[in-house]
Amino acid sequence: MAKILIVDDNKQITSILEEYAKKEGYTTQIARDGQEAIREFEKINPDIILLDVMMPKMDGFEVCREIRKKSNVPILMITARGEDFERIMGLDIGADDYIVKPFSPPEVMARVRAILRRLNPGEEKKQSILALHNLEINLDEYRVSVAGQPVSLTKKEIEILWTLASNRNRVFSRDHLLNSVWGYDYFGDTRTVDSHIKRLRAKLDPYEKDGWEIKTIWGVGYKFEESENET
């Protein structure tokens, strides 16, 4: 079981990343600043690090430099700005990949799986494919099929479906879906979620579902529901 060190001073971000990492089967440790990141790295010897750039005490670049003196552990840097110089600097000092805020947690987990697979070929494969009844979602390849038939969905529609299906029978509020799929820095409103769910359902409607459906929970949000009468 892979260990992930999540380093960010934003508790909201670390909370959702930890939730998704645990759902993937990873163990997690949180650090809130650069100095704590170094201490936790030495303590737990993680398999991969999610490292924010802008942090108190030591920024992500300093942390990356210090860790690279001791280890080649994969580092996925998270930058809020996304300027080219930050990405180039991160890669030059030893980061393996980077992702720009706002990000969707499913995309971060896909990057984590890709990095871990490169280190451990054949492992982590199952974590990127979700098969429920006659529905299959491949998040690495962003492919969805129902009863073996491919369904043409957008990236966000697939991420919504993955989020709901991997937490089946759990109700997600519109705000939670907005934060989980679009990211915490997205300045949209909950109508964005409703419109995407509407289009997602319309694209799935032509296919016969076998023991599952996306249900609206009025006044709350949505859930992926498994029925009792599946064949």
CATH code where residue 171 lies: 1.10.10.10
Return the higher-pLDDT residue of 27 and 179.
27
Overall pTM > 0.85: no
Q: Which residue, 119, 150, 180, sits at the end of a domain?
A: 119
When pLDDT is cut at 50, 70 and 90, the band that residue 79 belongs to is confident
When pLDDT is cut at 50, 70 and 90, the band that residue 40 belongs to is very high
Does residue 56 sit within a domain?
Answer: yes
Does residue 63 sit within a domain?
Answer: yes
Q: Which residue, 119, 153, 169, sits at the end of a domain?
A: 119
pLDDT of residue 32: 94
How many C-beta neighbours within 10 Å does residue 207 have? 15
User: Residue 40 half-sphere exposure, CB side, CA atoms within 13 Å?
Assistant: 23
Does residue 89 sit within a domain?
Answer: yes
Is the pLDDT confidence value at 124 over 80? Answer: no
Q: Identify whether the C-beta of residue 116 lies closer than 8 Å to the C-beta of residue 48.
A: yes
Domain that holds residue 152: 128-226
Is the pLDDT confidence value at 94 over 90? Answer: no
Does residue 87 sit within a domain?
Answer: yes
130's enclosing H/E stretch is strand 129-132
Q: Which residue, 119, 151, 172, sits at the end of a domain?
A: 119
Numbers of helices and strands, H then E, in the chain: 8, 12
Does residue 231 sit within a domain?
Answer: no
Q: Give the span between the Cα atoms of 181 and 107, in whole angstroms.
A: 9
Those residues with Cβ within 8 angstroms of residue 218's Cβ, 6 or more apart along the chain or in another chain? none
173's enclosing H/E stretch is strand 172-173
The domain total for the chain is 2
Q: Identify whether the C-beta of residue 212 lies closer than 8 Å to the C-beta of residue 133.
A: yes
